[in-house]
Amino acid sequence: MKKNFVLLLAGIVILSGVAISIAAQSGAGKPVPRLANGKPDFTGVWDHPRVGDIAKDANGRCAGETNGCKNTGAGDLPFTSLGKAENEKKDKWDYGAHCMPWGYVRSYGTPYPNAYVHHPDRLVVVWEQDNAYHMIPTDGRPLPKDPEPSWRGTSVGHWEGDTLVIETVGFNGRTWLDTAEHPHSDQLRVVERMTRPDYDHINYEVTMEDPKFYSKPMKNMRTFVLMKPGQELYEYSCAENNRCEGGTCTPSDVQK
C-alpha cells in the first residue's frame, strides 16, 4: 500500500510538472493585452480551424498544426432556388487554383494561419494565403452606401463592450464561401464578432447573410489559438494566369 501511495504521489508530481511546463509555454495567467483605448488588442499570429465546408464542424488541430481549434458549422445550408441552381452547376472554375483572390469568408478557412495588427483606429488582417491583407477601420465611420464591388468587400468595425463587431459588404460575387464551392452573390453581407477571453484564444463568430442565394443567415462559431513566439506567417507566392490547376500540367497548358 505504501509503495503504491509513493508511486501515485510521484505520478501526481510529474503530471503537475508537465502542467506547469505547458502553462509556462502558453499565455496561461497572462492578462489580455489592451490597446491605448482600453479595448482588447488582437495583435498576433493566430492559428484557426481548417474550414473547407462552412456547413460542417471541425475540431482539434488548427490549420497550422496548433492544437485547440474549433469550428461549429452552419448545418444544412438554406439555399434559395437561385442559390441551389448556382450550387449545382457542374465544372465550376476554381478561381483560387488560378491564383485569384480567395475572397473574404473563404480566406478564414484556408490551410494557413493569419495575423492581426491592431491599432485603436483600425484592425489589419494579414492572411498567409496569397499574402493578402484587409484594412478594417474602427474609428466610428459607417459603411459606405454604395461601395465599389471587390473580392474581399469593404469593412468597418465598432466595439460593443469588449467585442469587436465587423460588418463587410460590397462583394463582387466571384468567390465562394468555402473550398466546398458553396457560392455567394454580390448581396452577401458578413458580420463578425471577435472577443479575446484569455491571452491564448480568440472567440470568432461569423454570420453570412445573402438573400439572393440563401433564405436565412448562416453562422459559424470558431476558436482561434495564438501561435508560439517566433512562429510567423510564411511567404506565399502564386501567379495569376497559372495554367495548371491542381499542379498537373498537360501539353495544352503550355503557353504558346
Centre a 10 Å sphere on the Cβ of residue 223 and count the other Cβ atoms it contains: 19
> Mapping DSSP to helix (H, G, I), strand (E, B) and coil, where does residue 31 land?
coil
Cα distance between residue 103 and residue 78, in whole Å: 21
Q: What is the reported pLDDT for 29?
A: 86
Q: Are 116 and 125 in contact (CB under 8 A)?
A: yes
- Residue 182's Cβ-side half-sphere holds a number of Cα atoms within 13 Å equal to 25
What letter represents residue 236's amino acid? Answer: Y
Q: What is the reported pLDDT for 5?
A: 47
Q: CA-CA distances (angstroms) from residue 66 to 208, 227, 231?
A: 26, 7, 11
Cα distance between residue 33 and residue 31, in whole Å: 6
Cα distance between residue 129 and residue 109, in whole Å: 10
C-alpha torsion 129→194→104→154, nearest 10: -130
Centre a 10 Å sphere on the Cβ of residue 168 and count the other Cβ atoms it contains: 24
Enumerate the domain spans of the chain: 44-229
Q: Which stretches of the chain score pLDDT less than 50?
A: 2, 5-10, 12-25, 256
Give the predicted TM-score (pTM) of the model.
0.84
Q: CA-CA distances (angstroms) from residue 114 to 100, 123, 126, 175, 235?
A: 18, 13, 6, 19, 12
| Beta strand 201-209 pairing with 218-226 | antiparallel
Residue 134 corresponds to which cell in the numbers above? 484587409
